[in-house]
């Protein structure tokens, strides 16, 4: 029980650390240009996680698979999408309320699920379809500056495009889940940060002063780097699905912080979107925590009895929960419908 409480604390802490990203980024955008800001955030995450890895390197690299040429498409996809997504988010924040942008971040759940369904052929439950519909409806409501005149907020559109990129990036990163997590995050942070930096220089954006540069790096390390670190810790204890469910509260924490920092005055459309988003997110949490998978397996068992060798083929279905830790995949199996035939 104590281990589970610690894991839940880590998952909520990870969500809380990520939640500060949008309101504090919007604050720093008054002093740092958008593409430079995106670059500093990811560089801060990469450098920070690199330092954490060096300090904890005794935890054996042997527990992980090596990144190979076969992983190159996923690595490149992850890096390119992590260049584009934060740039879109930073420009979106210039033209949208921080509270709205925080809530719109949950559209990433929709993008991740639909891409997993149509591109990677994963199944989506009926309950999840209903949640997707509600979160999409909420995002639609939050995307209007004036819902009575059907005037779109272009800032909100850019935030939604950022979540689309992150949804695709999530699926690329998931395909690297058996690799060293620190290596993956380090590659993601450093190369995505450098990519954004190149774009910023091409756009003739100015470098920030040393003080604001340091603040942006620190925010990137905390909101991206440390958030991922505690997310991994929670994954190792309660599994990826349950950790992701708790992570879904991040936009609501971000909204609360936005009201405190910017004294924003929410409109009735915001409250409507908030109610729909809460219901949709709650359904995602319930669906994720209840998620189980059945797979059919055939096992052949050979043994010797009375001087003769027999082989038995056991066909069965079993349910198992996936636990993705910072090391390997672990499975907890529950056998069902077993039948044996002699060979």
The reported pLDDT for the residue numbered 64 is: 67
Q: Average of pLDDT values for 279-293? A: 74
pLDDT in tens, 113-129: 788 778 777 777 888 88
**pLDDT recorded at residue 241:** 55
DSSP secondary structure of 117-183: HHTT-----HHHHHHHHHHHHHHHHHTEEETTTTEE-HHHHHHHHHHHHHHHHHHHHHTTTTB-HHH
Tell me the Ramachandran region of residue 5: left when phi exceeds 0, alpha when psi lies from -120 to 50, beta otherwise: alpha
| Confidence tier at 296 by pLDDT (50, 70, 90) | very low
- In angstroms, the CA 217 to CA 109 distance is 27
330/128: higher pLDDT: 128
pLDDT band at 327 (very low <50, low <70, confident <90, very high): very low
- Domain borders along the chain are 2-291, 296-342
Per-residue pLDDT, 331: 36
Query: Looking at residue 133, what is its pLDDT?
Result: 87
* Tokens representing residue 252 in the block: 């609501």
**What 3-state class would DSSP assign to 1?**
coil
* Contact call for residues 39 and 191 (beta carbons, < 8 A): no
- Candidates 65, 23, 61, 25; CA nearest to 42 is 25
Residue pLDDT, tens place only, 41-93: 999 999 999 998 888 765 555 556 778 888 899 899 999 999 999 999 999 99
pLDDT of residue 306 exceeding 80 = no
When mean pLDDT is compared over 109-113, 244-248, 306-310, the highest value belongs to 109-113
Q: What percent of the chain has pLDDT over 90?
A: 28
pLDDT for 320 equals 44
Inform me whether the pLDDT recorded for 313 exceeds 70. Answer: no
92-120 burial, b for 16+ CB within 10 Å, e for fewer? bbeebbbbbbbbbbbbbbbbbbbbbeeee
Higher pLDDT residue, 285 or 37?
37
Average pLDDT in the 224-244 region?
A: 73
CB-CB contact of 60 with 176 (8 Å): no
Structure-model confidence comparison of residues 193 and 152, the more confident one? 193
Residue 322 has pLDDT above 70, yes or no: no
pTM above 0.85, yes or no: no
- The residues pairing with 332 across neighbouring beta strands, listed in sequence order, are 321
> How would you classify residue 195: left for phi > 0, otherwise alpha for psi between -120 and 50, otherwise beta?
alpha
Asked if 184 and 176 count as a contact pair (C-beta separation under 8 A), the reply is yes
């Amino acid at each position: 029980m104590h281990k589970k409480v610690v894991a839940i604390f880590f998952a909520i802490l990870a969500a809380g650390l990520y939640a500060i990203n949008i309101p504090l980024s919007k604050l720093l955008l008054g002093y740092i240009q958008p593409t430079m800001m995106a670059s500093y955030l990811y560089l801060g995450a990469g450098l920070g996680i690199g330092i954490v890895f060096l300090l904890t390197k005794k935890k054996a690299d042997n527990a992980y698979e090596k990144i190979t040429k076969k992983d190159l498409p996923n690595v490149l996809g992850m890096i390119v999408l992590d260049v584009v997504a934060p740039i879109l988010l930073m420009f979106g924040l210039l033209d949208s309320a921080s509270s709205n942008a925080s809530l719109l971040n949950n559209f990433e759940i929709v993008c991740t699920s639909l891409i997993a369904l149509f591109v990677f052929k994963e199944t989506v439950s009926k309950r999840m379809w209903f949640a997707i519909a509600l979160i999409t409806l909420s995002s639609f409501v939050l995307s209007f500056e004036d819902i009575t005149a059907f005037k779109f907020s272009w800032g909100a559109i850019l935030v939604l495009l950022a979540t689309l990129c992150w949804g695709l990036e999530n699926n690329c990163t998931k395909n690297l889940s058996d690799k060293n997590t620190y290596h993956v995050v380090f590659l993601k942070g450093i190369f995505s940060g450098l990519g954004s930096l190149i774009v910023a220089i091409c756009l003739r954006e100015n470098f920030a002063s040393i003080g604001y540069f340091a603040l942006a790096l620190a925010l990137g390390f905390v909101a991206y780097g440390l958030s991922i670190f505690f997310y991994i810790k929670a994954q190792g204890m309660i599994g990826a699905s349950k950790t992701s469910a708790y992570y879904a509260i991040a936009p609501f924490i971000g909204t609360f912080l936005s009201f405190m920092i910017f004294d924003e005055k929410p409109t009735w459309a915001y409250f409507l979107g908030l109610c729909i988003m809460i219901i949709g997110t709650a359904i995602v949490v319930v669906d994720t925590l209840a998620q189980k998978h059945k797979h059919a397996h055939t096992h052949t068992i050979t043994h010797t009895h009375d001087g003769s060798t027999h082989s038995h083929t056991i066909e069965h279905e079993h349910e198992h929960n996936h636990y993705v830790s910072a090391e390997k995949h672990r499975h907890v199996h529950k056998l069902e419908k077993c039948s044996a035939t002699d060979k």
